[in-house]
Amino acid sequence: MKTLQQLLGRIAQALEARLPPSVEPLNWSEHTAAVWRVEQGRGYLAPVSSSSPVVLDDLVGIESQRDRVVTNTLQFLQGLPANNVLMWGARGTGKSSLVRALLTAYASEGLRLLQVDREDLIQMPQILDSLAGQPWRFIIYCDDLSFEEDDVSYKRLKSALDGALSLTPDNVLLYATSNRRHLLPEAAADNLQAKWVEGELHPGDAIEEKISLSDRFGEWVGFYAFDQPTYVRAAQHWTEVLATRYGLSVRWDEQLELEAVRFAQGRGVRNGRVAHQFASHWVGRQLLKRKE
């Protein structure tokens, strides 16, 4: 009997060692943002903090997109009908920055942000259970929600999201970013499956499948590369913001504008990210000269 008890004790110790460490429940009064971590199949909330918050006024060049998402978010915060939001477009165009700026602006009004990796969306039922009934208004944020044609996880995640989004608590919305409007690559051949039925054009099964998940988002907001005047305006904004932050005086003139344009030409794209990178490049260089 004693030997059996010792054996059971060793088994219990071995099983306990394999379990992830216990985690204290997150206090949303103290934390405004968290990520969903998964260890050995068990998910939990881990707090995060931002050392460089983005504000809505920093989102130069995407004012119309910003205003649409802000309006939807304000509806949500006030307990009014609001939609899940899909922000799609090229990388570096301000989609993620907009989400972070929302938290900066509205955390004091009860907004909380939970970032979930694409692979962990399969745990949406568990995630929603952890947020339901809370006094806060939660945006579940998934960055880069896109899939390849042969991605075997798509249907599994789609099934989980379809079920979860249809039963989302009133205090939760899903905001996602993607480089694709319909989350999956679209081929010209898909259009060949379309059929005319009684005078109406009906898309084929392939297209229906590809747009079915994106249809769960009531707001589709497109982001695009900047034209040159918009890029220059964003570069000037960020240069002045960073210069002020580090106590550097700056006079935006034609020479500085030319440097900003050449910087973007070297990167082969004009967007908000490149504008910020130019500002970091130029301001950092001036500050370094001060120390020489």
Regarding whether 95 and 232 lie in a shared domain, the answer is: no
pLDDT tier at 233, thresholds 50, 70, 90? very high
Number of domains in the chain: 2
Lowest-confidence pick of 44-53, 129-138, 171-180, 189-198: 189-198
Asked if residue 87 lies in contact with residue 65, where contact means CB atoms within 8 angstroms, the answer is yes
Residue 202 sits in the same domain as residue 239: no
Q: Give the CATH number for residue 52.
A: 3.40.50.300
Whether 1 is in a domain gets the answer no
Boundary residue ending a domain (166, 193, 223)? 223
Instruction: Point out the least confidently predicted range of 34-38, 114-118, 172-176, 184-188.
Output: 184-188
Same structural domain, 234 and 214: no
Output the average pLDDT for the chain: 84
Most confident of 47-51, 152-156, 275-279: 275-279
- Note whether residue 28 is domain-resident: no
Name the band, by pLDDT with cuts 50, 70 and 90, for residue 175.
Answer: very high
192 lies in a domain?
yes
**Exposed e or buried b for every residue in 17-55, given b needs 16+ CB within 10 A?**
eeeeeeeeebebeebbbbbbebeeeebbbeeeeeeeebe
Pick 214 or 177 by higher pLDDT: 177
22's tokens: 């216990």
- Tell me, yes or no, whether 203 and 251 share the same domain: no
Q: Is the predicted pLDDT of residue 192 greater than 50, yes or no? A: no
Q: Mark whether 57 and 159 lie in a shared domain.
A: yes
Per-residue confidence band for 292, with pLDDT thresholds at 50, 70 and 90? confident
- Judge if 178 and 194 occupy the same domain: yes
Domain boundary among 223, 247, 263: 223
CA of residue 22 relative to chain centroid, distance: 28
Q: What residues have CB less than 8 Å from 7, skipping those under 6 apart?
A: none
> 130-156 pLDDT, tens per residue?
998 899 999 999 998 877 666 666 777
Band the pLDDT of 193: cuts 50, 70, 90.
very low
Asked if pLDDT for residue 183 goes beyond 90, the answer is no
Pick from 189, 223, 257: which residue ends a domain? 223
pLDDT of residue 168: 81
The pTM (predicted TM-score) of the whole model is: 0.81
Q: How confident is the model at residue 179 (pLDDT cuts 50, 70, 90)?
A: confident
| pLDDT surpasses 70 at 202 | no
H/E run at residue 31: none
Mark whether 261 and 213 lie in a shared domain. no
Q: Are residues 159 and 285 in the same domain?
A: no
Residue 27 lies in a domain: no
Distance CA 78, CA 72 (A): 10
Q: Please answer whether residues 192 and 198 qualify as being in contact, where contact means their C-beta atoms are separated by less than 8 angstroms.
A: no
Same domain, 218 and 249: no
* DSSP per position, 158-174: HHHHHHHHTT--TTEEE
Q: Are residues 247 and 213 in the same domain?
A: no
- Whether residue 200 is predicted with pLDDT greater than 90 in this model: the reply is no
The sign one gets for the Cα dihedral 280, 285, 290, 292 is positive
Domain that holds residue 256: 228-291
Nearest to 226 by CA among 55, 57, 69, 63: 63
Identify whether residues 215 and 245 lie together within a single domain: no
Position 79 in a domain: yes
Asked whether residue 54 falls in the same domain as residue 198, the answer is yes
3-state DSSP assignment of residue 237: helix
